[in-house]
Amino acid sequence: MRGTITTISLLLLIPMTVQAQGPGRGSGQGSLFFAPGGASGGSATTGMVHFGGNAEVLVYKGLAVGPELGFLAPWHSIGDGVGVLSLNGSYNFFPRRAEQKAVPFVTGGYTLFFRSGTANGFNFGGGANWWFKPKLGLRLEFRDQVWPGRYNTAAHFFEFRVGVALR
């Protein structure tokens, strides 16, 4: 488990070590977020909370890639939460316009849920970064983490993220 945590930590740090060259190709950005939401599967829905951080680097025009690490748990039982590792691609609209305050994006990718075992899933969503200063902004996002499950019983962990965006 210690090796997994070390690997995940390094994956999060790699994109953030890219020297910022403005909002263009090769520049890195990330966010720390808090996300209230819910989990639905079958006929039940329960309140959930997710918090974590992500990092990404622009690789071509508005296309970015990067990892995300977080903790997802039911509101009523935080100790029953799971770790969430995602490897995502995203498209950032207007990434090269330094004067652009609102930068909308869409994202999606692979999700690994882990606790005493692991489960594979995927995620998708979208939102916007609002840049107050060149390196500091507000990130608002909707995200759905999906665990396909077995026998056509997918679980959806939907969330509304609020975070601090950093370049």
pLDDT in tens, 35-44: 999 999 877 8
**What's residue 21's pLDDT?**
43
pLDDT in tens, 113-129: 999 999 999 999 999 99
**Domain boundary assignment for the chain:** 2-16+25-166
Rg (CA), the chain: 16
3-class SS string, the chain: CHHHHHHHHHHHHHHHCCCCCCCCCCCEEEEEEEEEEEEEECCEEEEEEEEEEEEEEEEECCEEEEEEEEEEEECCCHHHCEEEEEEEEEEECCCCCCCCCEEEEEEEEEEEEECCCEEEEEEEEEEEEEEEECCEEEEEEEEEEEECCCCCCCEEEEEEEEEEEEC
Listed as ranges, residues in the chain with pLDDT below 50 are 4-8, 10-12, 14-22
Give the chain's mean pLDDT.
Answer: 85
- Tell which CATH architecture fits domain 2-16+25-166: Beta Barrel (2.40)
